[in-house]
Amino acid sequence: MNFKYITNLLVTVFFTLSGFSAQAVVDLVPAAPKINAKAFLLMDYHSGRILAEQDIDKRIEPASLTKLMTTYVVLYEIKNGSINLTDEVKISEKAWRMKGSRMFIEVDSRVPVKKLMMGMVVQSGNDATVALAEHTAGSEELFVTLMNKHALNLGMVSTHFSNSTGWPHHDHYTTVRDLSILARAMIRDFPKYYPWYSIKEYTYNKITQRNRNLLLWRDERIDGLKTGHTESAGYCLITSAKQNSMRLISIITGSNSENNRARASHKLINYGFRFFETALYHGADEAVTEAKIWKGETDKLPLGLAEPLFITTPRGMKDKVTAEIKMNEEIMTAPISKGKSYAQLHIKLGDKTIAKRPLIAMQNIASGSMFSRAIDYVIMMFH
């Protein structure tokens, strides 16, 4: 019997019998609050679903939001063992002379990597940032090449860095969409160090400086990430907040004041938590469905997800989503390689597809015996 036909038939019957259209309910969710910014975004961290947006693919100047990538690269090298938090970094004259926000490190002094990280993450120190870049790659210029390589590896295709600090430069740019990719990667890839972004103040050289993210004092749900400001970029803020098991990321760029960027981000965060919810729909370690396999040592192939699938829906609607499996057109014959995609899983709410993921082979399947292959060959002639 044709497995693809049966699958499509079952899905059709399910939609028909359910008689459910979620569109009217979805429309009850109010529009996102009006935000006075050049570009902004609100995203669920786990599902990646964008809940509110404006001009997220427009090229922008990232200012000190750049330091999020600098931190990512340094932590990557720490994780790989290339450098250590205890390394003593000799401060160059270039780092010492950096303008803008500073940690106030002294030229030729030796400062541990961890203290420089606090100076960059909490105080947004340009001097600490350059010192870390030089220590990690030998020079800031070489470090920038690493930043751009990591950006491409993460999928930040509309980004180019020219320095490690976010100092204005005509060839230093990104987009809000790319910044959301970076923020998710920071939280996902370095959970051990992510709590640094919730530190409210840091003291070095007897000088105490407060984290410029005002929301850390205003809402206990908020635990990161980074502020930025230049005259040309305006006031920018990447915020992350967690409520129960749901985490949101908001990005504000081009606001006109420190307070306004904080208020705008808070509006988006409140909107997301109030009107949406996120739940694990299916794990990565269990089959979603089975497919018919020809000429193999077994005739059933379990298909599953490469990563857990989270679904973000309007509140009260998570039980109303439906699933549709679309098998690839090719006839599946052994041998089968684990990890190869053989179908697509579409998650819908009413008529709208809210998530789409490839379904991959969860195991290898070798070719069957000569006799079984011959039998399958004959059967396939009639299909």
Are 44 and 314 in contact, with CB atoms under 8 Å apart?
no
Q: Does domain 39-276 have CATH number 3.60.110.10?
A: no
Rounded Cα–Cα distance for residues 331 and 334 (Å): 10
Neighbouring C-beta atoms of residue 48, cutoff 10 Å = 14
Q: Is 24 helix (H, G, I), strand (E, B) or coil?
A: helix
Q: C-alpha angle with apex 364: 363 to 365, nearest 5 degrees?
A: 115
| Over residues 257-270, mean pLDDT | 98
Listed residue (49, 52, 130) closest to 93, CA to CA = 130
> Helices marked H in the chain — which ranges?
3-18, 23-26, 67-79, 93-96, 113-121, 126-137, 140-154, 176-189, 215-218, 258-275, 370-381
Domain boundaries, the chain: 3-23+283-381, 39-276
Residue count of the chain, please give it. Answer: 383
Are 312 and 42 in contact, with CB atoms under 8 Å apart?
no
Q: Which of 64, 164, 240, 265 is catalytic?
A: 64
Q: Which of 67, 115, 226, 295 is catalytic?
A: 67
- Dihedral pair phi/psi, residue 84, rounded to 5°: -130, 155
Rounded Cα–Cα distance for residues 154 and 94 (Å): 30
Tens-digit pLDDT profile for residues 92-147? 999 999 999 999 999 999 999 999 999 999 999 999 999 999 999 999 999 999 99
pTM of the prediction?
A: 0.87
pLDDT value at position 381?
Answer: 65
Q: Which of 47, 92, 101, 124 is catalytic?
A: 124
Q: Which two tokens stand for residue 157?
A: 């295709």
- pLDDT category, 14, cuts 50, 70, 90? very low
124 noted as active-site residue: yes
State the chain's mean pLDDT as an integer: 90
pLDDT value at position 4?
Answer: 39
Q: Which two tokens stand for residue 313?
A: 């829906």
| pLDDT top residue among 371 and 325 | 325
Listed residue (37, 54, 33, 62) closest to 254, CA to CA = 37
Neighbouring C-beta atoms of residue 140, cutoff 10 Å = 22
Listed residue (283, 273, 351) closest to 314, CA to CA = 273
| pLDDT top residue among 197 and 298 | 197
337 noted as active-site residue: no
Tens-digit pLDDT profile for residues 296-337? 688 888 999 999 999 999 999 999 999 999 988 776 777 888
| Over residues 196-205, mean pLDDT | 97
- pLDDT category, 375, cuts 50, 70, 90? low
Neighbouring C-beta atoms of residue 45, cutoff 10 Å = 21
pLDDT value at position 111?
Answer: 98
Listed residue (116, 91, 117, 119) closest to 106, CA to CA = 91
18 noted as active-site residue: no
pLDDT value at position 379?
Answer: 62
Are 46 and 247 in contact, with CB atoms under 8 Å apart?
yes
CATH superfamily of 3-23+283-381: D-Ala-D-Ala carboxypeptidase, C-terminal domain (2.60.410.10)
Tens-digit pLDDT profile for residues 350-365? 989 999 999 999 988 8
Neighbouring C-beta atoms of residue 220, cutoff 10 Å = 11
